[in-house]
């Protein structure tokens, strides 16, 4: 699976490391991917190249990952890809000399520790940032800044973790200046964000879930009226009662819906939804991108602003994605203005320059 490049650097140098192998053609790449969510896992599969031996290290104890990994058929892995449920343990980076490291969550404390311990005085190989939902935009903005730690929005870190997060951020910024930092994404990328990242020396490559679309994961019927759940209420960012009322309005308008819960939604909230016999709750195990990839043309998916809405628009352009902007009165005040503005600014339309 060959990535489409925003620049030509990757085409000239498959290892993404100009200078280290200027004239030497590598037979194969050896790579490792650290993933902590189903979307990060799928992004790693889309990033994999034919001449690459990829080890995916999935953090099985992350929320929703065990059920996803249990439901994922190993036969769906591309050739030369293997899976281990060990996460970003430092040992794997000390024992092997990888040509490339894929990061699903560049703000993960486990990832920071692994990179810091293994590469404190060693030269980092090429690093590829994978999609981690809409939070990916925050990661890229941090890396385009001149300084600052890699921290998730709203995250509060101890002093020692802040130092480590700042160290990893500086190392990645240093990689960008030598052409060894890349972002592989299916998300729309604004002109300003693209320009800022490329200005650092980083590269952007694109995918459209080409591997995912080959998988026999089934689909859904347009009469299902699929609705994508959100974790915003469960995380305390929006009012749960207002969100519940929005779902009720959809049911009143369409007669029945199939609700696909987010992996962080609470059992109590879903039990309340299930009391309405017009709401069919579908626990998919696999990511919604896998379940709705084959939704028939003319179907409509309804959602609040979400990564899944963006992904499904990329996967199936013949399906309508109806995204409801989050009203100002829904917000609880637990999130910064920047996050609220960023979420409501998201679009499911592809970036014409990407």
pLDDT digits (tens, 9 = 90+) for 221-255: 556 789 999 988 998 889 999 999 999 999 999 88
Which pLDDT belongs to residue 120? Answer: 85
- Domain assignment present for residue 352? The answer is no
Decide which of 213, 237, 262 is a domain's last residue: 213
pLDDT, mean of residues 68-79: 90
CA–CA gap between residue 116 and residue 166 (Å, rounded) = 11
The answer, yes or no, to whether residue 183 has pLDDT greater than 90, is yes
| Residue-wise pLDDT tens digits, 118-168 | 998 789 999 999 998 878 998 999 999 989 999 987 778 889 899 999 999
- Domain assignment present for residue 12? The answer is yes
Q: Domain check: are 85 and 207 in the same one?
A: yes
The alpha carbon dihedral of 142, 147, 153, 157 has a sign of: positive
Q: Domain check: are 85 and 182 in the same one?
A: yes
Q: Domain check: are 180 and 225 in the same one?
A: no
Q: Domain check: are 199 and 221 in the same one?
A: no
- Domain assignment present for residue 271? The answer is yes
| Residue-wise pLDDT tens digits, 21-55 | 333 445 689 999 999 998 999 999 999 999 999 99
- Domain assignment present for residue 302? The answer is yes
Q: Domain check: are 198 and 222 in the same one?
A: no
Q: Domain check: are 178 and 322 in the same one?
A: no
The answer, yes or no, to whether residue 344 has pLDDT greater than 70, is no
Phi/psi at 345 (5° precision): -85, -10
In CATH, what number is assigned to the domain containing residue 254?
Answer: 3.40.50
The answer, yes or no, to whether residue 113 has pLDDT greater than 80, is yes
Q: Domain check: are 71 and 179 in the same one?
A: yes
Percentage of the chain surpassing pLDDT 90?
51
pLDDT tier at 220, thresholds 50, 70, 90: low
pLDDT, mean of residues 4-26: 39
- Domain assignment present for residue 350? The answer is no
Give the Cα-Cα-Cα angle 143, 90, 124 (nearest 5 degrees): 45
Q: Domain check: are 208 and 70 in the same one?
A: yes
- Domain assignment present for residue 337? The answer is yes
Contacts 24+ apart (CB under 8 A), 65-68: 65/36, 65/37, 65/38, 67/285, 68/38, 68/41, 68/285, 68/286, 68/287
Q: Domain check: are 339 and 226 in the same one?
A: yes
Decide which of 181, 213, 245 is a domain's last residue: 213
* 325 exposure class (CB count in 10 Å sphere: 0-12, 13-18, 19+): exposed
Distance in angstroms between the alpha carbons of the first and the last residue of the chain: 18
Which pLDDT belongs to residue 222? Answer: 54
Four-CA torsion 30, 86, 229, 233, nearest 10 degrees: -120
256 vs 290: which has the higher pLDDT: 256
Decide which of 174, 190, 213 is a domain's last residue: 213
Contact partners, residue 17, CB within 8 Å, separation at least 6: 99, 125, 126, 178, 179, 180
- Domain assignment present for residue 351? The answer is no
- Domain assignment present for residue 353? The answer is no
The alpha carbon dihedral of 38, 44, 46, 52 has a sign of: negative
Sheet containing strand 181-185, strands side by side: 4-5, 203-206, 181-185, 126-129, 100-103, 29-35, 52-58, 81-84
CA–CA gap between residue 173 and residue 249 (Å, rounded) = 46
Total domains present in the chain: 2
Q: Domain check: are 26 and 121 in the same one?
A: yes
Mean pLDDT rounded to a whole number for the chain: 84
Q: Domain check: are 267 and 226 in the same one?
A: yes
The answer, yes or no, to whether residue 170 has pLDDT greater than 60, is yes
The answer, yes or no, to whether residue 193 has pLDDT greater than 70, is yes
Strands annotated E in the chain: 4-5, 29-35, 52-58, 81-84, 100-103, 126-129, 181-185, 203-206, 226-228, 257-260, 279-281, 300-303, 320-323
Domain hosting 46: range is 4-213
Q: Domain check: are 289 and 148 in the same one?
A: no
- What is the CB-side half-sphere exposure of residue 189 using CA atoms within 13 A? 23
């Amino acid at each position: 699976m060959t990535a489409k490049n925003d620049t030509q650097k990757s085409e000239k140098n498959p290892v993404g490391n100009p200078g280290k192998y200027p004239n030497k053609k590598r037979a194969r790449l050896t790579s490792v991917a650290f993933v902590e969510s189903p979307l990060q896992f799928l992004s790693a599969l889309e990033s994999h190249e034919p001449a690459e031996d990829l080890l995916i290290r999935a953090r099985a104890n992350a929320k929703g990952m065990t059920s996803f990994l249990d439901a994922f058929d190993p036969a769906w892995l591309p050739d030369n890809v293997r899976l281990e449920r060990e996460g970003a343990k430092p040992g794997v980076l000390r024992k092997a000399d990888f040509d490339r490291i894929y990061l699903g969550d560049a703000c993960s404390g486990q990832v920071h520790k692994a990179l810091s311990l293994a590469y404190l005085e060693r030269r980092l190989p090429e690093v590829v940032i994978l999609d981690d939902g809409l939070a990916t935009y925050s990661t890229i903005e941090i890396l385009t800044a001149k300084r600052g730690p890699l921290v998730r929005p709203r995250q509060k870190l101890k002093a020692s973790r802040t130092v480590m997060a700042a160290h990893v951020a500086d190392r990645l910024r240093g990689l960008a200046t030598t052409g060894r930092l890349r972002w592989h994404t299916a998300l729309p990328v604004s002109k300003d964000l693209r320009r800022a990242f490329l200005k650092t020396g980083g590269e952007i490559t694109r995918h459209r879930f080409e591997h995912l679309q080959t998988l026999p994961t089934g689909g859904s019927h347009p009469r299902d009226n699929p609705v994508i759940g959100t974790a915003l209420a469960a995380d305390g960012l929006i009012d749960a009662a207002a969100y519940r009322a929005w779902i009720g309005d959809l049911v009143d308008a369409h007669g029945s819906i199939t609700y696909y819960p987010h992996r962080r939604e609470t059992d109590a909230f879903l039990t309340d939804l299930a009391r309405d016999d017009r709401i069919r709750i579908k626990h998919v195990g696999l990511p919604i991108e896998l379940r709705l990839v084959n939704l028939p043309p003319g179907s409509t998916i309804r959602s609040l602003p979400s990564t899944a809405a963006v992904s499904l628009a990329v996967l199936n352009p013949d399906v309508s994605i109806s995204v409801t902007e989050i009203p100002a009165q829904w917000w609880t005040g637990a999130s910064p203005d920047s996050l609220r503005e960023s979420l409501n600014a998201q679009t499911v339309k592809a970036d014409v320059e990407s």
